[in-house]
Structure 1
Amino acid sequence: MGRTGFSMDPEFVAAVARAASGENVNIARFCREHGLSRGVFHKYLNRFRAEGADGFTRRSTAPHRRPTTFGPEAAEAVLRARKELADEGLDNGPISIRWRLEDAGTTPVPSQSSVYRILRAHGQIVPQPRKKPRTRRRFEYADPNGCWQIDGMEHCLADGTKVCIVQILDDHSRLDVGTYAAASENGADTWAALQHAFAGHGLPVRLLSDNGLAFSGKHRGRMVELERRLAERGITAIASTPHHPQTCGKDERSHQTLRKWLAARPPADTLADLQQLLEDYRRIYNHRRHQSLDGQTPQQRYDARPKAAPATGPHQPSGVTARPVSATGVIAFSGCSIVLGRHWAGHTATVYWQADRVTVMTGDTLARQLTLNRSVRYQRLTNHKPSTKS
């Protein structure tokens, strides 16, 4: 007999009624024959004696106490915290709301799931269909300053003028080591932003960027000024694969947080005003709990381990690239025009370079070897005579 059938099985009802009236019923044999426990029989026997036939009515299985249910005061605190976070331009999901309540000394603090239920009950969250969870491989450098990520994002001043915000993030801790208001994404302002970051946090071992010309010429077969300056300090410049923004994902995600925060405030009139806003943002961001850091702040994570440092001495980046020779016998490389001579017109030259030292080959023939003179663009031939194959 199924559990839900106790109150409806005629033989069971009759046996309980007879036992309650004082009739001698062999309860053990009845339970054995009907697949019941004697405990169940006596439970309903006691109910029948106390309530009569109503004792056979099935009871609710709902718990008498709901320890995860919070009253209106808790709901009000959750909704108030959500609004405050939204007004401040900060993340206002269940995790952030719970942290806000915890920091405010609210007791008891609702769990993350309880906060979610409160938000859902008050129409603050629209449930989304469950999606199959993706396996995420999150990589981070083991130590602070092991690698910084740098990227620029477009922003508009109050009058609509487009400017650039250069944001520099420590890969290990997500610490914002420098956020700089610039006229555009250019080499000079990028270097100025890095100098501010160096002054406050030391030198990183590596600097990761996308392939913007202000940051890298790696995939164009050249070295931009920023890469040269980094190499002089022993910092390795690395660039993401073209059309693969996930490589700089931490910086891209940080842009979203910054945009949301700036949108909650009146737009800045000047670059100086914008820079002040960015300094305010950095203080909040670096000292606020981070979901990707198990509740630590970026500053706590950054301070928890010794800092990595670049190897002593300058680093000399190098590479190889192919360049077509023009009709006038010139190739373009690293912002310079290198003269090979008209007899090489129409050929394809292979350029081997390390820093400013360059060797140019056409096939198996040495076409030219030189050190680039950065004071001029046009690298003229001197007394160089190309060697010929024997």
Structure 2
Amino acid sequence: MSKARLVIMAVVVEKRPVAEVVAQYGVARSWVYELLARWRAEGEAAFEPRSRRPKSSPRATPGVTVELVLRLRKQLAEAGLDAGADTIGWHLRHHHATVVSRATIHRILTRAGAVTPAPGKRPRSSYLRFAAEQPNECWQSDFTHYRLADGRDVEVISWLDDHSRLALHVTAHRRITGQTVVTTFRETVARYGIPASTLTDNGMVYTTRLSGGKGGRNGLETELRKLNIVQKNSRPNHPTTCGKVERFQQTLKKWLRAQPAQPATIADLQTLLDQFVDEYNHRRPHRSLPHRCTPAAAYTARPKATPTGDRAGEVHHRVRADRVDHTGVVTLRVNGRLHHIGIGRTHARTHVILLIHDLQIRVVDAATGELLRELVLDPTRDYQPTGRPPGPAPKRSR
């Protein structure tokens, strides 16, 4: 039984003096009279617990601000953009001259049922974050698939600055090839300068280091070596190493899904990609950047990094087993391009070993060890014609 009920029973039923009840139960006389008045007015409801919440709260967030927070949440979500408390706070501060703390915005969203609880989600503080100190210190790249409105599958390649998260290049293609990677990289370099390093996954369009030595350097690897750019690749099955560009692609696809009409052609898709890049770089605050600034602001805030190493002395060795075809030719891929090396019909269907030292190539009979051909490959030509056999030149008769 509650103390309030005991007090009322002692005064009303037992007819005991108020002073005696106050002394016995150690309560204030004013509270006893207040309780009696409430009991006479409400009956049994007088014994229910009462809220201690004040009738007014001068420091409460104004209703106009609450409505603005909820409206921004709805607008950003419908546009396919980030609509978290940090982003809403940035828009309030920069576009509405209103400062509201992140915690207050989160409470407003939670009370309105606009936040989906995720108790099992790993907290952001548990991740080890790595970011380049300067713009152009490291560029990340990856490509992703996208299905057009007519059901055709296309691919979108992205180049992203690791320091500022600036979207340097985003284009759609029917299919991403090694040449596509080289072409987009050159276009990005022409606009933003030469980076100090690149970071990608182990896709064959980016590197051949997992090909078992069969492919040689591809086009991108050759381009990076020529410009003295350090090439970094993630370990297999570790996509979080390239997490920034992976996360960028998620943001891009979320924005595309929110558009009223899905693109039907690559040209339509490219128009949308250009709109997104402009929004992402210049008008969308990035929560991972200092002061929640835009990627464009972060990219221009510091001096740009440049290549510091010298890779000119790096030599690429590989050994490749093959067989001369029926026309007397063996093929070899160099810098992402397939070349045909003439050996001679005399050696058709002969099993050979190719000893490759950059562009210096020796073709040896796998069974006898005889040197069949030695040449310096001309990377500008597809077919490498048969020259004179190795050894001293024959004497010319008079």
Taking structure 1 as the reference length, the TM-score comes to 0.72
Give the deviation of 1:216 after TM superposition.
2.1
- What letter is aligned with 2:277? R
After superposition, the CA RMSD in angstroms is 4.2
CA shift at 1:69, angstroms? 4.0
State the match for 2:222 in structure 1. 228
Superposed displacement of residue 60, structure 1: 6.3
Q: Do the aligned partners of 1:146 and 1:171 also contact (CA within 8 Å) in 2?
A: yes
Contact 1:236-1:315 within 8 A present in 2 as well: no
Structure 2 residue 304 is matched with structure 1 residue 307: yes
Identity of aligned residues (%): 33
Q: What is the number of equivalent residue pairs in this alignment? A: 351
2:237 aligned with 1:243, yes or no? yes
CA distance, structure 2, for counterparts of residue 8 and residue 17 of structure 1: 15
Instruction: Tell me: CA distance 1:379–1:297, structure 2 relative to 1, closer, same or farther (3 Å).
Output: farther
Q: Distance in 1 between matches of 2:363 and 2:128?
A: 42
CA shift, 1:193, in A, is 2.0
* Structure 1 counterpart of 2:168: 177
Range with bigger deviation, 295-304 or 231-240: 231-240
Structure 1, unaligned runs of 5 or more: 10-15, 22-43, 386-390
In 2, the alpha carbon distance for the partners of 1:306 and 1:257 equals 27
Show the counterpart of 2:102.
112
Match of 1:277 among 272, 276, 280: 272
Of the structure 1 ranges 51-60 and 133-142, higher mean CA displacement relative to structure 2 is found in 51-60
Q: Offset of 1:327 from its aligned partner?
A: 8.7
| Match status 1:383 vs 2:389 | yes
Q: Distance in 1 between matches of 2:199 and 2:96?
A: 40
How far apart are 1:175 and its partner, in Å? Answer: 0.8
Shift of 1:168: 0.5
The aligned counterpart of 1:137 is: 128
Q: Deviations over 1:82-104 (max 9, x none)?
A: 11112221111222222222233
Partners of 2:383 and 2:238 in 1: how far apart?
32
Would you say the 8 A contact 1:149–1:168 is kept in 2? yes
2:185 maps to 1:189 = no
Equivalent positions of 1:1-390 (< 5 A) are 17=19, 47-48=28-29, 50-52=30-32, 54=34, 62=53, 66=57, 69-105=60-96, 107=98, 109-131=99-121, 133=123, 135-220=126-211, 221=213, 222-265=216-259, 266-287=261-282, 288-294=284-290, 295-311=292-308, 315=312, 318-321=315-318, 323-324=320-321, 326=323, 334=334, 335=338, 353-354=357-358, 356-357=359-360, 370-374=375-379, 375-376=381-382, 383-384=389-390
Shift of 1:251: 0.8
Given the superposition, is the C-alpha separation of residues 81 and 351 from structure 1 closer, same or farther in structure 2, using an over 3 Å criterion? farther
Q: Secondary structure at the match of 1:110?
A: coil
For 1:196 and 1:278, locate their aligned partners in 2 and report how far apart those are by CA, in whole Å.
16
Task: State the Cα distance separating 1:68 from its structure 2 match.
Answer: 6.6
Distance 1:323 1:8, change over 3 A: farther
Moved more, 223-232 or 248-257: 223-232
* Partners of 1:181 and 1:70 in 2: CA distance: 46
1:234 is displaced (CA, Å) by 2.7
Q: Any unmatched runs of 5+ in structure 2?
A: 8-17, 37-46, 392-398
TM-score, normalization by structure 2? 0.71
Give 1:292's aligned amino acid: S
Mark the CA change 1:366 to 1:173 in structure 2 (over 3 Å): closer, same or farther: farther
Change over 3 Å in CA distance of 1:333–1:165 after alignment to 2: closer
Deviation (angstroms), 1:73? 2.8
In structure 2, the CA distance between the partners of 1:219 and 1:116, relative to structure 1 (3 Å rule), is same
Q: Deviations over 1:10-58 (max 9, x none)?
A: xxxxxx958x99xxxxxxxxxxxxxxxxxxxxxx88x53x455558999
- CA positional deviation for 1:320: 4.7
> Secondary structure, in 3 states, of the residue corresponding to 2:270?
helix
Distance of aligned partners of 1:247 and 1:383 in 2 relative to their CA distance in 1, 3 Å threshold? farther
Deviations 1:319-356 (A, max 9, x none): 455544559897966445779998xx889x696644x3
Amino acid at match of 2:274: E
Q: CA deviation at 1:383?
A: 2.9
Q: For residues 215 and 281 of structure 1, what CA distance do their matches in structure 2 show?
A: 25
Contact 1:79-1:119 at 8 Å conserved across structures: yes
Q: Distance in 2 between matches of 1:359 and 1:60?
A: 91
